[in-house]
Structure 1
Amino acid sequence: MKMKQELDYTRGARPLYAQLYEILLHKLRTGEYKKDDVLPTEAEFEERFGVSRITARRALAELVSKGLLKRQAGIGTMVISTSEKQQVKAGIRLADGHQQLPISRHNLAMESVEPPPTVAAAFGLAPGNQLMRLTRTLYRQNQIPAQLNYIYLTPRLGPLSLEEMDNGLYQLLEERHENIESWQDTITASLADENDCRLLDIPVATALLIKTRKGYNQQQQLVEYTIARHIANCYEYLVEGGR
């Protein structure tokens, strides 16, 4: 229980997964966790730190992505390095400096649709087959939507309803044992189409940043294929390097 005091639960504090990540990184740097050590299970982290398994899993996934840990079937999460390698971090963030404002998600529709050919091919579907697609908008406090998401989900989840998204998509994936363990993003650009204009309330031919994300489970099976359409003048693409 003592370890729970290491996390800051006050309003406005850093996300719990980020705090847990820093604690574990410190333990690696100081030698408390050594190379070839097997870390506690997610259930043990849940007990020790008072966080959910989703939070523990995300913190561990960050360390895996940095080449410090690896997941090994039948063993668990193992330390493979105690020092970070040179990293390049890239992502899209708000350009107005308001990154700390809460994000609101408005789920618009959950429907079975025939996906675009590129999405069908990624899931290994024959032409004419359908996937469940979640359509949602994202926005900050009291602002018009700044982003439109089309999220295509693996057929392994079966039929889904909009109500099942009430507790969040990743909570649903956790319950269905389809947790996202790794992902790949691609950034392109486009002009707004008629549907973008309607759902984002923007003029025709507004510039958009398009982020395509493929999310995979622990078995490297595709779970989600998200096409996120960002209003370009609301966001910036940031690349950072360091250890």
Structure 2
Amino acid sequence: MNWSTSVLVSNGAPRWLQLAEIFRRAIESGEFPVGATLPTEAEINTQFGVSRTTTRSAMQQLVQEGLIKRRAGIGSVVVDTRVDQPVNQIRGFAEDMRSRGMMPGYQVLGCGMAPASLEATQSLGLPSGDQPFYVERQLKANERLIGHSISWVRPDIFGAKTPPTSEQLAEGSLYEWLRAELGIEIVGGVEYIEASLATQQVCPHLDVTESDPVLVARRVARSRQGLPIEFAIVTYRSDRYRFRVDL
């Protein structure tokens, strides 16, 4: 059904919510592909006989859902939908992207044994002075930049084994390497998620400007035996990523 042939019902949901649903379906069906501009507020007001307030409420709902962006001088533009991350699961970025039919990608910015922050040391339960394995990467899905991660892995799990190289980390998942090379499987842990603003340090790695909204996840990943294996700080672009709670 074309958006212009849709109608609002008088005894149904609020008119702004019905309007949002009409354009949500139009976007999901491909009637308005990524990059397309929705009709102007004036056109929508005339077509459906609604007020500017009703139309703006509907458009704001679509903005909150990550379906459109309001751009000055242009209007409401359809954007790529965000990647959903269930908050009741802990799994590697590569596994998560593949489960959605997307191709994970990495750009390694640095790795090796290095001093850790106090937060990382305490989260891993390491003695003062221990140097965990450190890896910093950009995270991509289908070649699209999604996030930036810094991970610290406890050093005592490697034994005589050489930690993964930057080439290995650019090609695959850290969790998959731990499972294949050390027999360590990440099965749980704890993750804290908060809304924040992009810092000067992370901006060049996310292609955003300072104070743009981002999502920051701090995670302690544990092995099947309950040992804390990794402490990670992952910063996601909020226009391309969101967390989902399954109830």
TM-score, normalised to structure 1, is: 0.54
- Partner Cα distance (1:167, 1:232) in 2: 24
Contact residue 126 and residue 154 of structure 2 kept, 8 A:
no
Contact residue 216 and residue 234 of structure 2 kept, 8 A:
yes
| Secondary structure of 1:178 counterpart | coil
* Cα distance change on mapping 1:204 and 1:178 into 2, 3 Å: same
Asked whether 1:147 is paired with 2:147, we answer yes
**Structure 1 residue 172 displacement after superposition:** 1.4
* Cα distance change on mapping 1:142 and 1:169 into 2, 3 Å: closer
Asked whether 1:170 is paired with 2:171, we answer no
Contact residue 146 and residue 200 of structure 1 kept, 8 A:
yes
Contact residue 124 and residue 230 of structure 2 kept, 8 A:
no
Contact residue 138 and residue 146 of structure 1 kept, 8 A:
yes
Contact residue 101 and residue 140 of structure 1 kept, 8 A:
no
C-alpha RMSD of the superposition: 2.4
**Structure 1 residue 169 displacement after superposition:** 1.4
| Secondary structure of 1:184 counterpart | strand
**Structure 1 residue 237 displacement after superposition:** 2.9
Contact residue 146 and residue 236 of structure 2 kept, 8 A:
yes
| Secondary structure of 2:205 counterpart | helix
**Structure 1 residue 235 displacement after superposition:** 2.3
- Give deviations 1:68-127, integer Å, cap 9, x for gaps: xxxxxxxxxxxxxxxxxxxxxxxxx98743644514321412122222211101122234
Answer with 1 or 2: which has the greater Rg: 2
* Cα distance change on mapping 1:185 and 1:103 into 2, 3 Å: farther
| Secondary structure of 1:172 counterpart | helix
Quote the residue 2:221 is aligned against.
215
Contact residue 191 and residue 220 of structure 2 kept, 8 A:
yes
Count of residue pairs the alignment pairs up: 148
Quote the residue 1:29 is aligned against.
none
| Secondary structure of 1:195 counterpart | coil
Aligned to 1:200, which of 186, 200, 206?
206
| Secondary structure of 1:173 counterpart | helix
- Partner Cα distance (2:174, 2:116) in 1: 19
- Give deviations 1:142-168, integer Å, cap 9, x for gaps: 43x221111111212255221343343
Quote the residue 2:139 is aligned against.
138
- Partner Cα distance (1:221, 1:157) in 2: 14
Quote the residue 1:46 is aligned against.
none
- Partner Cα distance (1:105, 1:179) in 2: 21
Q: Which runs of 5+ in 2 are unaligned?
A: 1-64, 68-79, 84-99
* Seq. identity, %: 20
Quote the residue 1:226 is aligned against.
232
Quote the residue 1:97 is aligned against.
81
* Cα distance change on mapping 1:224 and 1:94 into 2, 3 Å: farther
- Partner Cα distance (1:192, 1:137) in 2: 15
- Partner Cα distance (1:206, 1:127) in 2: 35
Aligned to 2:189, which of 173, 183, 192?
183
Pick which of 213-222 and 163-172 moved more.
163-172
* Cα distance change on mapping 1:128 and 1:191 into 2, 3 Å: farther
- Partner Cα distance (1:181, 1:138) in 2: 21
- Tell me which amino acid in the other structure corresponds to 1:179: E
* Cα distance change on mapping 1:94 and 1:151 into 2, 3 Å: farther
